[in-house]
Amino acid sequence: MARLAGKSAVVTGGARGIGEGIVRRFVAEGARCVIADIDVAAGEALAADLGDAVVFLRTDVTSEADIVAAIEACVSSFGALDVMVNNAGIVGVTGPIGETPLELPVMVRQGSGSIINTASTAGVQGGLGPHVYTTAKHGVIGLSKSVAVEAAPFGVRVNVLCPGATLSSLTAGLVTGDKDNLDDAYERLSSKYVGGRAPKPADMANAALFMASDESEFMNGAVMVVDAGKETLSDRAAKFYPIPTR
């Protein structure tokens, strides 16, 4: 039986990388998805590939109006918003969570929902990114835990996915200088994991599937780290925190 049969989701950053992997896995498990992404070409290509189970909407996650439009597209196209995957980022609005016109009020009215916020292993460990990035990812986790308490009485769950450095065009560009050089990127990334293999988008999609499904209904305010147990720090730490010479 499809684990997400009858459920509908919005996946921000859903056109490429981890987001694309999540969309593909969700659809394979019976869900219908709004692909919310700023990359029109990739989003339209993915929508054409997956057919009627998805809708693509150009979405800039720094725009509250765009996020609202994506949520409204999910409700109007599929009848509900069961899962919100904040994969591309967190929208910077102010005020109490319950008063912001984003995904939470829709789920509160339904009395159910699963919000998945993507952070990073840099959200639970130092040395994996610059200070501002690390601080922001820790903030995603803190906000998620806080909102999880507020949302729980309404049947809405909020959990966090913390991927290790995952193979994608973004990481390929960072480690090789060429976003299309996925083979070399995978080899370089794999050398940094104790298991000898770098994670791929499908690995993150598997974790997100569990968090979105009813199988995780008693999981709220949790942080799921997906990095094969440990990502080594050496190269990344040296890049961001060079050892001073004396």
Measured CA to CA, the distance from residue 78 to residue 60 in angstroms comes to 21
Please tell me whether residue 43 adopts helix, strand or coil conformation: helix
> What CATH code would you report for 8-164+199-230?
3.40.50.720
SS (H, E, C) 138-164: HHHHHHHHHHHHHHHHHCEEEEEEEEC
Neighbours of 45 (CB within 10 A): 15
Query: Would residue 133 show up in a list of annotated catalytic residues for this protein?
Result: yes
Q: What is the pLDDT of residues 7-52, one digit of tens each?
A: 999 999 999 999 999 999 999 999 999 999 999 999 999 999 999 9
- 242 has pLDDT over 90: no
Residue ranges covered by each domain of the chain: 8-164+199-230, 165-197
Choosing from 133, 186, 193, 241, the catalytic residue is 133
DSSP 245: P
Q: Is the pTM of this model over 0.95?
A: no
For residues 187-211, average pLDDT: 91
What integer best gives the mean pLDDT of the chain? 88
Contact (CB, 8 A) for 114 and 157? yes
Measured CA to CA, the distance from residue 238 to residue 81 in angstroms comes to 43
